[in-house]
Amino acid sequence: MLKLKRILLIAPSEMTLTPAFARARALACATGATLHIVAFDYVQALAVAGLLDHDSMAQAREGYLQVHRQWLEQQARLQRGIGMQVTTEVLWTKSNFAHLLEYVNDFHPDLIIKDTHHVPALDRAFHRPLDWRLLRECPAHLHLVTSEVNPKPLKILAAIDLSHLEELTQGLNDRILDLASTLAASCGAALHVLNVSHWSVMSDASRSVPTGSLDDSLREAVQDAQQEAFDVLAERYCIKNTRRHSLTGIPHKVITFFAKHNAFDMVVLGTAYHDGHDAFMGTTAESVLNQAPCSLMVVKPLLASS
């Protein structure tokens, strides 16, 4: 079973408690992991004023950061009082993707936790939101929190993908179930597993099983093979028959609908990469994030050593 040792909470620049704070505390407490909270703080007005009077603005900036550090430390002390290991840090830098990724690569967390917010379709059309870029390029598992309900999750859905050949996904289904089962066991949550079949229209169709284009007998054979693989995985992680779900349809729509209408607190799903410039195998995670039926835990593949 996976062992979470280091959780990184990316806190908002505003000094306010958000759903990600509650989830990070709950998961760190349940798993015994250390929790590090970092906030990226940058006030444009102070930065501009510093061009005119560097010494005065440097003093004002440090005073501002000190207030933020004290506020974060106050939150950390409350958790240390119940035995948690919590550290905090406030950095004077913009909370953009480049700075976040650099920090993550230096810190090497097992899990990153961050609040997520809905981005209108028009905005997404002109630029990639920060959460989407983290989903694509962040090397660590990423937990995007949407709600304050049940900080310690009660129902977890692991969404696996049996439409790709195993060697193309670097054991991603096992990694999804490994993390999901670890969280469920630590939190005392009910773990369900979902596979969506008939992945017939996909941008990476050459790498998946185009079940919609097969004749009846071959389609049944593919479905039987997927069901057998599904049962083997579920048995390996001791998931009850009543918590195994095989559905058909467009993956992101089925996952979103199923999670929403069955009141899951968290969906655990994966992303997988292959060689090539900005290559991304499957867009299910992005599509689910767009509709966000609940908090998402995005599992990354095991990167091959160079």
Please check the confidence at residue 197 and state whether its pLDDT lies above 90: no
135-149, 199-213, 226-240: which has the minimum mean pLDDT? 199-213
Tokens encoding 157: 């859905």
The reported pLDDT for the residue numbered 282 is: 46
For residue 215, name the pLDDT band (cuts at 50, 70, 90): low
